[in-house]
Structure 1
Amino acid sequence: MCLWKAFNIDTDPPAASEIPRKFSIRACPQTDIWESPPSNRAFNAPILYQSMQLVEFKRARVTLAGDFQDTYSQGGLIIIIHPRNGDT
């Protein structure tokens, strides 16, 4: 079983057995995951994630609620697949 990890979050990630069905992650203003090659990249949003081999991935689902008041405020599920050669 994969362990949860946290990125850009001030608290420790939960143990796999402790993650509740409903939980909250707060994002500070001006955080984003966005890229416009070759030089514009933002990857500073709070993320709770698991790393695994692609063949291990079965399914993912997210239900999202938020008080989105500003233009471009959003949240959701992101799947990042790294190529075999390690390029990002």
Structure 2
Amino acid sequence: NEKISYLYQPYNPSILRLIKNTIEASHKEGKWTGMCGEMAGDQVAVPILLGLGLDEFSMSATSILKTRSLLKTLDSKKMEELADKAVNDCETAD
């Protein structure tokens, strides 16, 4: 919606913490966590989301090939470190 598009801030510290907490809570209950929408196909967000433990991504068809290519270059340990840094940086930024 163009009337509220200015509110879209996927890297806002509060949003990243909410995503992290949601993933952790669902995993604690033995559930998987999926995401659909623009952020799920964002090439910058994908490594962070994987590092946070996101289980499933739903994205536009045009994002799939780029994301597959990106995934081939990523290391799980580095994604976890990136996610940890993003969350910790966010906690000190608020």
Rg larger in 1 or in 2?
1
Structure number with the higher strand fraction is: 1
TM-score (norm 1): 0.29
Structure number with the higher helix fraction is: 2
TM-score (norm 2): 0.28
- Greater relative contact order, per chain length (Cα 8 Å cut-off, separation 6+): 2
